[in-house]
Structure 1
């Protein structure tokens, strides 16, 4: 049985139960939360939620999410001031909040924080579809009842409730579209059904998104002469064919009463992301590099890599809870069980030392004429001295080394969470709250493992899988790259019996048990002039880290995390906020592991560091917010954070013989993790939402700008920026809604930044996106339903994303084109 079948059955039971209840109930002429409100109403509701908050926070309503062409929550969050998105092959994946590393952001569903599937700490927002969300709240100043891991922010994902609407509620969304490059299908399906009466409610939902695309990729290794002239060492031509899909389902059973027991509920959510990826790649090494962007007749060799693999991650989270009153206290008690799975499985057919042919005198290199003056469209023309006057086909290269590489990286995590919150009024307009949370976390898996075997070229002829079809590409395919049937090649490889083992060796294992006990107290006071919160959270961490041969590294530490928040109502529509907060960020499981593994292919050794200390932070926020009479907002915020024990990757040269005696004397790069010091990030956020009804009824604009800066000191004394920090982030939107027509155009921009998942010496160049959506709500309601047709367009300007090496030269350029989606939404 599929391990997720029980999860699917649970979701199906909830959906069927809702449908049975619906069949017994007459449809009502009542609007739903998701789409029925106008843009102005939904924006105003979110602004009012921000206004009423006791801390610095931003809110996105469900309707705002529904009216954007968002595939996942990262896209939705991109419009909040201070948030920048890190993308993979054009698709939103990680969130950088206020220029901080994405590991500094914690996420929760309905107030219950959940661990990230990747490395146990890092939330991947591409696995959570936007439509499961009723409201998103981004807490930028942390209160004591939020987890300490939220160094830069705490994002609460509020899901839909069966009590959002009494009686029947049904919502459906289906969409079809196409990716411009490669003509891949874009599909969307979302269903939600609920029923509630005065006391009982049931809700079920299902969501599925998929997108097929081709990514056109070029990578470089450029050196520089003393006068700054390029020296091409290597150029890499790649074509990816990918299918990315996310699926989510779950539901809620809930009872609401009027006595001491006010609420009992059970919620379940399963969400997964699957990235199926085929790669066709040729890497050309210049054997006699020549300075300059153009040259002719340069000898070169070729490497070919063919891959059919996948990346998968999933989160299965279940919460049983009750809200009740006892002895004057409002009590919220909850138990949560969460399982996450992460798997990277990439079998690669790897052929290197490729030449035009072999003679009695040895290998005969290819020759290349190139023009790299346009580095996002490099031109390389191959020729062979064995066939003068003809263009050479790299698929016919003679490879001296044929290898099979299995890249395997699993990580499973299981978390039991016990949460208790108590609150009661004390005195006039004052509230005392305190509580506890106990997390038991178990993580088991491995760091990236590369198993290397000889490829069975005697039984599997690789060129038999060459389809002959030229790559789909935005750039000029001067090398004549063709598509291989990589899944069929992989199947033949498996059948040969020479396939690499999908096992994690002991030296690469991750086995970590972690217990976190948190206690907090919080006192909230409301006055004529505003409000104040004083809070303290204490987190005790015990960790057991199991290494090779049963070696156990144990550690425990305690973090005291005070915070304070002041809110001043300077006028009816003018609010000043001042906040101070603290946080702690523990190492990821890969960073913390007590093992190290040798990678002979790349001549690297990758190891964890069980002695790493958790990052500790404190910071300050201030915000001045002016709420306009027509429901808009103008605001300015300042933020500053200090981070000690900054965790970063470090590379040094070591004797590989320390890890394998057969390699004694060979120098390998050792990539490990250290604690830096004196980390800080700071900046300013400006935000405006304004409705121009006096000029044109139904017209509105929104814009936000964040200016940020960050740095920390490495162990060697070098001062560098924190990964994820862009100096400038801004978003702007124009929207219009009238006569059932809704139009919204959104532009987002961030300038260059360092990615923590790449080489820390590399950085991404500026990135921008232009998206749009237009919809029309039909004027006729059928049985109380609202029907909308829509069309959405992403990456309208067909942007190319560019990355740079540490010496400032370009080292990657990738493009994927625009995609569109046309769909239908129905709400009952």
Structure 2
């Protein structure tokens, strides 16, 4: 009997490549297990896997050590340059969502907001494609799914492709992230699992439940083998974030000669709640050994309510004789401000949103002959996003203000007086009536095949496939402008409107303040409209914000697997090409203002078409059985965002000599952002859970998309128009090193220890083009250095993990200034960031495991600054520290 573990079973001993589909059960439950694991083959797309071979056993992978072994074997056997993270057990991943989990992968950098990781970068770039078991998945008008929306407890594994092959769906210039889950045939017999637990957030001061469960079974019947799987998931997540901030320093010479200082110094208190719920099904039917048919579906919802309370202090908003300042020694920059009777703005920004996503698929895999495998799949994906974001500004006066702009690399803002807490002294000022609706839908069909010749010669197999996809996306929202409130209305005059912000975990100067209640704004929006504007009617939808994109993509690929000897060293290679044609139709509305200042909307339609040829070659040299070298070349692309392709232009006509003629718009002529990628690796696998690897990479980019201001004539008038354009070339290069080992040779209980460590150094940026601001500078968001150190322990019933993640500083925004057109501002830089997370598990019985988890254990403090973090800090932010307790049940 043969046995395989998840991954690409591509050893030279099996070049017939009727690949075995014995799938390692690496752990998954609920939400995402609706998607097919058609062979768990990496890097082949899901539909290209052969029908399961009855002579292959299924391995149940449990435990931290086995997860590390499986991830290592995936990397070793893969045709591509790939890194993976594998679940320890069913429903057991070390982090709360996929984005957080990916921070452990070599070369991955993440950003954190609202209490969790969200934005994911591969080698410092955001141009990624996201797949679920080889199938495209997205959120409404986005090109990819929000990885933070996927709970890690649902996963089997996550693969990060840093080199690509012809069968892999295009769309990620930086790389591809493939989230892998289970189907019922992945289990040997009846399987049920559940996770019950809760997490406490210290700054949110809340404990929330987390529930997930899965049940799966397979039966032998007269019509063949049948399998069914059902899963559910429900996660509630309260969160809080606190900030103190100051704005870019500008001229304040009215207070002292040559003085510069922040215009605003204030605080933010952010708190909210996320609810993620999902249900899924998966059916498989294998009437005989050569045919498998499946059907599956997923429905998920993500509901979010959020309140952001701003205290916008204006310490200069008083007469000059009531202001006293000091300067930072040796500079003209303000260090302290003492003022009285300072005008302040209090603002509540409320958000209520709901995202629904569903995907349903049917497909089949057929071994037509011993050497020919065929497969086909039809999938429909639907996503909707409905949101409301009412904002109410109020104003009051602080009796006194004390500001220190550089109090320990952080601003300090102390405002005092009864006006901060007395609703009778707080006056309504303006109301923003914001809401909108986005949709996204696709129909996706593909067919794939692999032919394996009988003789084992130079050509080992030939794979081919086609894909046809229609993608629709639309967006519309209310006008962004505000409406001034009717005068003289105090917050106290409206029952239920007044709230007090929660306290801060650190003394930033002002502990709390009175502010409008977010719940009142959301639940009584019509009353707020009536109160502030005199009418309860919602602000009309803005036709200028509308766009609808219909995109049709047709792709075909061919690849061949080859094998030969380079002297005494065996070489395996996969060479291929993918051709992708995209036709796009975009409908929108141009907005202009007539001579009477009335807005006029003119429908506009734009059509475009483009074809990309994407060659790829991946070679693996076997120096020894345990020592591999790789070389990979591939061309990749990322298509522009749908909003960037919007052909509409919003014109603001000049009014005499007071306003410059300006406009903003999209660019339907944008081309995909492409890259020529080169990777070279050396990998030493000295034990089943021990390896050392190094990678050198270089990416040459073309068509880098930037916003530019250009002069365009409209109705005989020159306008300064801001729109995105392809204009720049660039490069990215660097080195990755990774190490993994369990120290089995140590005596006794010490033999349970293990270590995972990796480090990435990256540099690159725009090297040519018409954007001087970016030339010869690092890409925004790119950290040159990042590393992970993960201590592991697994012995008897105990297992533990302690993971430290660090990334160096990066530029968030170049020339950050109130007047960006003059490019004279200072660069906004984010200070080095880190995270320490841990978990401890004890297996009570074979079926019951208790888990204790913790995130942000060091209570990380986010900081950004202009040029110098001691003299010019901008933001300081604090996030939740989380402690969770859960129980895993498995049968």
TM-score, L = length of structure 1: 0.86
CA distance in 2, matches of 1:299, 1:680: 53
Which of residues 527, 551, 572 is equivalent to 1:495? Answer: 527
Compared CA separation, residues 228 and 373, structure 1 to 2 (3 A): farther
The equivalent position to 1:368 in structure 2, one of 376, 380, 401, is: 401
Residues 713-792 of structure 1 mapped to structure 2, 5 A cutoff: 713=768, 715-718=770-773, 719=775, 720-754=777-811, 762-778=828-844, 780-781=845-846, 786-792=847-853
What's the secondary structure of 2:644's corresponding residue?
helix
1:21 corresponding residue in structure 2: none
The runs of 5 or more residues in structure 2 that have no matched partner are: 1-29, 35-56, 326-332, 590-601, 654-658, 821-826
Which residue number corresponds to residue 687 of structure 2? 629
Q: Secondary structure at the match of 1:488?
A: helix
Q: Deviations over 1:314-347 (max 9, x none)?
A: 4311211100133652111001111122344211
Q: Deviations over 1:219-247 (max 9, x none)?
A: 21131789998612211211112112322
Counterparts of 1:550 and 1:702 in 2: how far apart (Å)?
57
Counterpart check, 1:106 vs 2:116: no
1:702 and 2:756 matched: yes
Distance in 1 between the 2:246 and 2:708 partners?
Answer: 23
**Contact 1:534–1:564 at 8 Å: present in 2 too?**
yes
Aligned to 2:625: 572
Structure 2 equivalent of residue 148 of structure 1: 170
* Aligned residue in 1 for 2:391: 348
Work out whether 1:310 is the aligned partner of 2:352: yes
CA contact (8 A) 2:558 2:578 kept: yes
1:329 touches 1:423 (CA, 8 Å); kept in 2?
yes
The question of whether the paired residues in 1 share the 8 Å contact of 2:423 and 2:492 is answered with no
Alignment match, 1:822: 885
Report the Cα offset of residue 210 of structure 1: 2.0
**Preserved CA contact (<8 Å) 1:107 1:114:** yes
1:645 pairs with 2:703: yes
Contact 1:349–1:455 under 8 Å retained in 2: no
| Alpha-carbon spacing, 1:468–1:223, altered in 2? closer, same or farther (3 Å) | closer
CA pair 186-704 structure 1, distance change in 2 beyond 3 A: farther
1:174 matched to which residue of 2?
Answer: 196
**Which aligned pairs between 1:166-565 and structure 2 lie closer than 5 A?**
166-198=188-220, 199-223=225-249, 231-260=261-290, 262-285=291-314, 286-287=316-317, 290=325, 291-297=333-339, 300-326=342-368, 328-351=371-394, 354=395, 356=397, 367-374=400-407, 378-382=411-415, 393=420, 402-426=429-453, 427-428=455-456, 430-446=460-476, 449-455=479-485, 461=491, 464=495, 465-468=497-500, 471-478=503-510, 480-482=512-514, 484-495=516-527, 497=530, 498=535, 501=538, 504-527=541-564, 529-548=570-589, 549-565=602-618
Alignment length (residue pairs): 769
Structure 1 distance, partners of 2:745, 2:250, is 58
How far apart, CA to CA, are the structure 1 residues paired with 2:690 and 2:422? 60
Change (3 A) 1:648 1:271: farther
User: Cα 1:166–1:397, aligned 2, differ >3 Å: closer, same or farther?
Assistant: same
> Aligned with 1:76: secondary structure?
helix
Task: Answer yes or no: is the 8 Å Cα contact 2:831–2:863 preserved in 1.
Answer: yes
* 1:132 corresponding residue in structure 2: 154
Contact 2:87–2:93 (CA under 8 A) maintained in structure 1: no
The secondary structure found in structure 1 opposite 2:687 is coil
Q: 1:608 aligns with which of 641, 644, 666?
A: 666
* Further displaced range: 199-208 or 804-813: 804-813
User: Following the alignment from structure 1 to structure 2, what is the Cα–Cα distance between the partners of residues 536 and 151?
Assistant: 16
State the Cα distance separating 1:408 from its structure 2 match. Answer: 2.8
Alpha-carbon spacing, 1:577–1:589, altered in 2? closer, same or farther (3 Å): same
Q: Which residue is equivalent to 1:794?
A: 855
Report the Cα offset of residue 75 of structure 1. Answer: 1.3
Task: Measure how far apart 1:469 and its partner are.
Answer: 6.1
Q: CA deviation at 1:629?
A: 2.5
> Cα–Cα, structure 1 residues 188 and 503, in superposed 2: closer, same or farther, change >3 Å?
farther
CA displacement 1:487-510 (0-9 Å, x = unmatched): 124434423544573654221111
How far apart are the structure 1 equivalents of 2:727 and 2:478? 24
Alignment match of 2:75 (pick from 50, 61, 64): 50
> Partners of 1:213 and 1:109 in 2: how far apart?
27
Task: Confirm or deny: 8 A CA contact 1:403 1:454 kept in the other structure.
Answer: yes
Which residue in 1 is equivalent to 2:53?
A: none
Instruction: Find the aligned partners of 1:341 and 1:417 in 2 and give their Cα distance.
Output: 18
Shift in CA distance, 175/378, structure 1 to aligned 2, threshold 3 Å: same
Give the conservation status (yes or no) of the 8 Å contact 2:171–2:638.
Answer: yes
Deviation at 1:196, TM superposition (A): 0.9
SS of 2:480's partner is: strand
Looking at structure 2, the residues matched to 735 and 171 of structure 1 have their Cα atoms a distance apart, in angstroms, of 24
Unaligned runs of 5+ in 1: 1-9, 15-30, 357-364, 384-389
Contact 2:228 2:283 in 1 (8 A): yes
Cα distance between partner residues in 2 of 1:814 and 1:599: 37
- Report the alpha carbon displacement of residue 121 of structure 1 after superposing the two structures with TM: 1.1
Q: Distance in 2 between matches of 1:258 and 1:185?
A: 50
For residue 18 of structure 1, what is the aligned residue in structure 2? none
Could you say which structure has the greater relative contact order, defined with CA pairs below 8 angstroms and 6 or more residues apart? 1
Q: Which residue of 1 aligns with 2:24?
A: none
SS in 2 for 1:622: strand
- After TM superposition, give the deviation of residue 377 of structure 1 in Å: 5.4
Residues 758 and 764 from structure 1, CA distance in 2 versus in 1: closer, same or farther, beyond 3 angstroms?
farther
Distance in 2 of aligned mates of 1:217 and 1:730: 27
Q: Distance in 1 between matches of 2:259 and 2:634?
A: 49
SS at match of 2:72: helix
Match of 2:7 in 1: none
Question: Contact 2:404–2:413 (CA<8 Å) still a contact in 1?
Answer: yes
The TM-score with structure 2 as length reference comes to: 0.80
For 1:44, what is the secondary structure of its paired residue? Answer: helix
| Partner deviation per Cα, 1:59-116 (whole Å, 9 max, x = no partner) | 2222279554411111121111111112222311121011112xx2111112112234
Instruction: Tell me which residue corresponds to 2:96.
Output: 71
> Structure 2 CA distance, aligned partners of 1:236 and 1:394?
16
CA shift, 1:791, in A, is 0.6
Distance 2:92 2:797 in 1: 13
Name the SS for the 1:440 alignment partner.
Answer: strand
Alignment-derived partner of residue 711 in structure 1? 765
Q: Residues 571, 499 of structure 1: CA spacing in aligned structure 2 closer, same or farther, 3 A cutoff?
A: farther
Instruction: State the distance in 2 between where 1:107 and 1:263 align.
Output: 26
Distance between the aligned counterparts of 1:376 and 1:207, measured in 2?
42
Question: Are the aligned partners of 1:380 and 1:479 in contact in 2 as well (CA < 8 Å)?
Answer: no
Instruction: Describe how 1:686-701 pairs up with structure 2 within 5 A.
Output: 686-695=737-746, 696-701=750-755
Q: Structure 1 residues 203, 540: closer, same or farther in 2, change over 3 A?
A: same
Q: 1:33 to 1:466 in 2, by over 3 A?
A: farther
Q: 1:649, CA displacement in angstroms?
A: 3.2
Measured in 2, the distance between the counterparts of 1:462 and 1:626 equals: 70
Deviation at 1:693, TM superposition (A): 1.6
The match for 1:362 is: none
Residue pair 1:393, 1:479 contacting (<8 A) in 2 also: no
Q: Measured at CA, do residues 292 and 460 of structure 1 come closer, stay the same or move farther in structure 2, by a change above 3 Å?
A: closer
SS of residue in 2 equivalent to 1:136: strand
Q: In structure 1, what is the Cα distance between the partners aligned to 2:815 and 2:880?
A: 23
Question: 1-side partners of 2:757 and 2:81: how far apart?
Answer: 18
